[in-house]
Amino acid sequence: MEVKNTVEPQPDTLGITGLLHSVINVGRDILARRRRDTAQSPSSGLVDKCRQLLHHRGEASGLALACEVVDDYRELDEQNRILFFEALSQQFSVDSDEVVAAAQQYQESATGEHLMRLSKAIEAPRVKLFRRMNMAPNATPTLVKMRGELLRLRKTHPDLQVVEADLKQLFISWFNRGFLQLSVIDWQSPAAVLERIIRYESVHAITGWDDLRSRLSDNRMCFAFFHPTMPDDPLVFVEVAITAGTPAAIGPIIEKTKEPSDASELDTVVFYSISNCHPGLAGVSFGNFLIKQVVKEVGKRYPLMKRFITLSPVPGFAKWLAAERGEAEVEGLRELAASEGRDTRDRRWESAVGLCAHYLINARKNHLALDPVARFHLGNGASLQGINWAADLSERGLAQSAGIMVNYLYDLESIEENHDSYFDEGKVARSKQVNRLLQ
């Protein structure tokens, strides 16, 4: 996979964009003429236009109709979007009679032809509708936002889950790893990309342009995955620091307060923030590909690095500990971390990091780590290397983990073995230091 130094718009050497808009304009003329001939209102409802698009055959007019559907959807307010989603759920669903008939036919005779009929029957018409909507320019970001809204509405509108699930399955193929472009984000990247990096940062907030410049200069880097249909909008990005030794707190990394005077002391690559940019792509996994690709890319640039490691949050720890020991104990740990930091002589911090080790290794959901960040890194084949007291004293860090942060080690020689052991046997690869904490 090629790695670009910066994100640049690709030249339209063949005039594809101009050709596409030319075809759309021709299609609009065809639609207008047909509507005049049939006395059809050009302002017919969005659901009616969706039905037309679903059964449309003409290429130019179909492309123009897809543009109308996408534009009309964008104009809906929230109440009408919910009504539209409900129409997708109810009016563009599978034909249950056809599904039953195809299943019975396949059960009686398991031929390839009957399997094809069954496969066709169980795909809801809205899936074909989404594919046709995606013909319109810039439709992919709209569909991603659509799924984001559906995810937000699922609890109050459970009937919409089937629509969201159909979009997810499409996105898994549309955002296949083979389509993703890894790029380096630097100060010369387009302003639109830099603005989105500031906005999307979800772990350690970027406070403005000066903060962003600091995170992109000296021994700091940022890598992002892009998709061809969203060339200026990152899907996921990781911030990287080159440090002397394994970091135990986030402050010195962000503020650059412990930079070595001698560059020869730099020996560690630290992944200190990973941000997924679009709620609508939740569950479409490419963050793991990003980490492994960046490990290889940074390894080429800094061949003398001794280790690749993270400094990661523990977003579920405080909630879990409150359920196990009570909110009062968690609040006590927060106050201890905030007031005394890493230099405390209060022995409660030792108990806290031991409990965190137990949480990360033994607290499970569906046989995987309960903590989402642990689940991500352990699933990638990283090992649990260290647990750091009073490592993030920000309001968010204290709230979610009483300030505790974790180091996950990416050892290229053991990643695959760790990954298999984790998923096949439930084993968490961990250091001797973590084993001592468990005791």
- Spell out the residues 6+ positions from residue 251 whose beta carbon is closer than 8 angstroms to its own: 257, 392, 393
**pTM of the predicted protein model:** 0.87
Angle at 53 between CA 49 and CA 55, to 5 degrees: 120
Q: Taking the domain 18-141, which CATH number applies?
A: 1.20.140.90
- Spell out the residues 6+ positions from residue 404 whose beta carbon is closer than 8 angstroms to its own: 314, 317, 352, 353, 356, 387, 388, 389, 390, 391, 392
At position 109, the amino acid (one-letter code) is S
Question: 180-438 belongs to which CATH class?
Answer: alpha beta
137-185 pLDDT, tens digit each = 999 999 999 999 999 999 999 999 999 999 999 999 999 888 999 999 9
Residue 385: both structure tokens together: 């290397």
359-394 pLDDT, tens digit each = 999 999 999 999 999 999 999 999 999 999 999 999
63-72 pLDDT, tens digit each = 899 999 999 9
What DSSP letter does each residue of 252-269 carry, written as one string? HHHHT-S--SSGGG--EE
Q: What are the sequence ranges of the domains in the chain?
A: 18-141, 180-438
pLDDT, residue 6, reads 55
